[in-house]
Amino acid sequence: MSPLTAYLVQFVLALLLAPLLPGIINRVKAKFAGRHGKPLLQLYFDIFKLLRKGEVVSRSASFVLSLGPAVSLATALCALALLPLGGVTSPLAFQGDFLLAAYLLGLGRFAVILAALDTGSSFEGMGASREATFSALAEPVLFSCLLALACVGGALDLETHLSLSGMLGGRPGTEWLLGRSELLFVPVVLFVLLLVENCRIPVDDPNTHLELTMIHEVMILDHSGPNLAYILYGSALKLWFFAALPAGILVPDFPAWWAQALCWLATILLMAVLVGVVESVMARLRMYSVPRLLGGAGVLAALALILTQIR
């Protein structure tokens, strides 16, 4: 099978399986709480139900309200296409493509924040403000993680070592197995970033009933119908994106692409289980402690960067 076909298979797989991750998280949480829980495929049902519905839009809103969901879904799709899914180099890979991926997600966030502000609701303004703050702080942490990876074994192949495919395509996995233990900081930090960027506990509680304490959920209060379906699917893709980043570091290079792909898939699903466990055993942090969590993650990432540089 040619690499392009292998990549396309995995891309389609990611698109199909992404809504499964929230289902897994919810199931794990339910098991911890001793409940049976929602069906695993709940998000699929939700998305299809919403696509078949009409919409209610706010009287204050302009075209920006419906631009937000479409842009956020489009950017999540394009950012995902830059990842080396299952360790197969992305056909789009180029030097510094992680910047493009990060800023594409930024564009999606920009659109969702504006859509939230468009309704004129103070709840949604509150969510928008928190989202802007935390994502601004998360950006440098993500950059230092990826730079730490970029500096590993740069001499191996100059062409792509600065791209996501070079950073995550299995080489870091081989490297840390050979004893570069400082690289193991990176998946830890990336897991924290996963929690922050996807608004999971301990940063945000997607299931809370109180608008005042939410971040992401409160921003989309006024979205309904197909708009909400786009947002839900876009968030699922974003969750897949962030779960795939640690997979790229932990899974080493395998000779057969399907073996590596299976390992990736297993790691991504494991990440979802891990998120479920974290959500079950932790309470949400106070809003003002989140920057400390991010600061701690940033220091770890900077440490990993400095250690890889010094070696």
Partner 1 sequence: MSLFVLAIVLLGVAAVALLALAGLPPSIRVARLANVLGPGCVVAACGLGLAGVFSGPWELILQFSLSWGLPLGEFSLGLDPLTRLFLLPVFGLGAVCALSGGLSLRKTRPEEHNLAAHWFFYVLLVAGMAVVLAARDAVLFLIAWEVMSLAPFFLIDFDDSDRKVRDAAWIYLVAAHLGAVLLIAYFALLWQVGGSTDFAVLAAQEHSSYTSALFLLGLLGFGAKSGIAPMHVWMPEAYPAAPGHVAGLQSGAMINAGLYGILRGFDFLGQPVDAPLWWGWCILVLGLATALMGILKALAQSNLKRLLAYSSVENVGIMLVGIGAGVLGAASGHPWIATLGFAGMLFHMLNHSAFKGLLFLCAGEVQQATGTVAMNRLGGLQKRLPLVGGLFLLGAASIACLPPFNGFAGEFVLALSLLDGASLPTVELQLGLLLSLVILGLVSGLALAAYTKAYGITFLGDARSEAAQHPHAAGWRTLWPLLFPAAACVCGGLLAGRCFELVAPTAQIAAHLPPLAELSGARAVDEVGHILDIIAAVGGAVVLLTALLLFVRCRLLRRRPVECRETWGCGYQFGTPRIQYTEASYSEPLGRLFGSVMGLKITEKGGEGLFPGKASLTIAAPDRVRTSLFTPLFEAIERLCNALKIVQHGKIYLYILYILVTLVALLIWGMHA
Q: Which of residues 240-259 bind partner 1 (CB under 8 A)?
A: none
From candidates 8, 151, 277, 285, binder to partner 1 by CB under 8 A = 151
- Are the C-beta atoms of 31 and 38 separated by less than 8 Å? no
- From 14-22, 55-63, 170-178, 193-201, span contacting partner 1 (CB under 8 A): 55-63
Judged by beta carbon, residue 135 or residue 198, the one nearer partner 1 is 135
**Residue placing its CB nearer to partner 1 in the complex, 183 or 261:** 183
Please select the residue that binds partner 1; options are 147, 149, 219, 261, rule is CB under 8 A.
147
Count of residues that interact with partner 1, criterion CB under 8 A: 84
Comparing CA positions, the residue from 61, 134, 145 lying closest to residue 101 is 145
- Which of 197, 150, 184 is closest to 293 using CA atoms? 197
Contacts of the segment 124-132: beta carbons below 8 A, 24+ positions apart: 124/218, 124/219, 124/221, 124/222, 126/212, 126/218, 127/214, 127/215, 127/216, 127/217, 127/218, 127/219, 128/219, 130/215, 130/287, 131/215, 131/216, 131/219
- The least CB distance from residue 218 to partner 1, in Å, is 10
* List 190, 195, 201, 305, residue binding partner 1 (CB under 8 A): 305
Q: Shortest approach of partner 1 to residue 70 CB, angstroms?
A: 4
CA distance 133 to 294: 11
Q: Token pair of 148, please?
A: 């730490």
Task: Decide if residue 128 touches partner 1 (CB under 8 A).
Answer: yes
Sole binder of partner 1 in the list 103, 174, 252, 262 (CB under 8 A): 103
- Does 3 bind partner 1 (CB under 8 A)? Our answer is no
